[in-house]
């Protein structure tokens, strides 16, 4: 029997520099590294790249405040797959010898799914909830078209679809003048850029800038970890 499956709760111990000093057999087996290669590794190094900034912020807060933290993160297995885990981490020990101790629970099998699709579904869910909210309360109570525009652009970026100014403004659900003003604001702040359509240069496409795309990735990833 696969012990990583039969024993749901796993554990690890790390020093105050976030390096693993111990891990139970189930975690070693789940991650797929030989024990002597796993111990001594930095927790951030074992975390999927898109989750690292979030995990680092949580650990820094734990080191400063001392309160236990709980979070979801993706660990990288030895064969390159991703394993979602829920971690509950506590700080203990004296000031000169503090250590982190965690219990972790796998949320499913290691997956090879493109992480872009996971975050695309997250953006879709947020958009659907916002549309549902408008259905119950009306659109005039909550004025956040800029965020809807960013979510819509993110989804279309993942899908490889072109987004045009007029169609995106209409899809936001805001009055056209409001949507266009919000688009201009997003352009001015460096989240969105205007690009001429290479086929019909009378039409203008909208794209997330590198800054806008990275910010949306980090936001959606952090939202998934709440």
- pLDDT tens, the chain, 226 aa long: 344 344 468 999 999 999 999 999 999 999 999 999 999 999 999 998 878 888 888 899 888 888 888 887 889 888 888 888 888 899 988 667 889 999 988 875 555 556 677 777 788 888 888 777 777 776 666 667 898 899 989 988 887 888 888 888 887 778 888 889 999 999 999 999 999 888 887 888 999 998 998 888 888 877 776 6
CA angle, 75 then 79 then 84, to 5° = 25
Question: What residue spans define the domains of the chain?
Answer: 3-106, 115-225
Q: Which helix (H) or strand (E) holds 204?
A: strand 204-208
3-106 with 115-225: one CATH topology?
A: no
Q: Beta 20-23 vs 10-15: how paired, if at all?
A: antiparallel
Query: Do strands 82-92 and 69-76 pair parallel, antiparallel, or not at all (unpaired)?
Result: antiparallel
- Give the length of the chain: 226
Q: Is the distance from CB of 138 to CB of 197 less than 8 angstroms?
A: no
Instruction: Count Cβ atoms below 10 Å from residue 4 Cβ, excluding itself.
Output: 20
Q: Please check whether the domain covering 115-225 is classified as CATH 1.10.10.10.
A: yes
Q: 173 — alpha (psi -120 to 50), left (phi > 0) or beta?
A: left
Q: Return the structure tokens found at 214.
A: 């990275």
pLDDT at 7: 45
CATH class of 3-106: alpha beta
pTM of the model: 0.52
Helix (H) / strand (E) element for 21: namely strand 20-23
The C-alpha atoms of residue 153 and residue 113 are separated, in whole angstroms, by: 22
Q: Measured between alpha carbons, how far is 102 from 33 in angstroms, rounded to an integer?
A: 19
């Amino acid at each position: 029997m696969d012990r990583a499956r039969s024993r749901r709760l796993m554990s690890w111990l790390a020093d105050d520099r976030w390096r693993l000093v111990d891990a139970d057999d189930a975690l070693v087996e789940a991650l797929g590294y030989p024990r002597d290669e796993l111990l001594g590794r930095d927790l951030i190094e074992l975390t999927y790249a898109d989750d690292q900034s979030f995990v680092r912020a949580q650990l820094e807060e734990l080191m400063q405040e001392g309160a236990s933290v709980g979070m979801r993160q993706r660990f990288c297995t030895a064969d390159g797959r991703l394993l979602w885990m829920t971690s509950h981490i506590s700080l203990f020990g004296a000031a000169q010898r503090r250590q982190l101790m965690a219990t972790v629970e796998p949320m499913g099998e290691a997956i090879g799914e493109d992480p872009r699709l996971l975050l695309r579904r997250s953006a879709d869910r947020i958009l659907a909830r916002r549309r549902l909210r408008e259905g119950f309360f009306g659109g005039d109570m909550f004025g956040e078209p800029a965020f809807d525009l960013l979510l819509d652009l993110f989804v279309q970026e993942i899908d490889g679809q072109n987004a045009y100014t007029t169609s995106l403004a209409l899809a936001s659900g805001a009055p056209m003048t409001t949507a266009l003003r919000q688009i201009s604001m997003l352009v001015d702040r460096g989240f969105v850029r205007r690009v001429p359509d290479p086929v019909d240069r009378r039409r203008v496409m909208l794209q997330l800038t590198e800054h806008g795309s990275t910010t949306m990735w980090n936001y959606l990833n952090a939202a998934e970890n709440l």
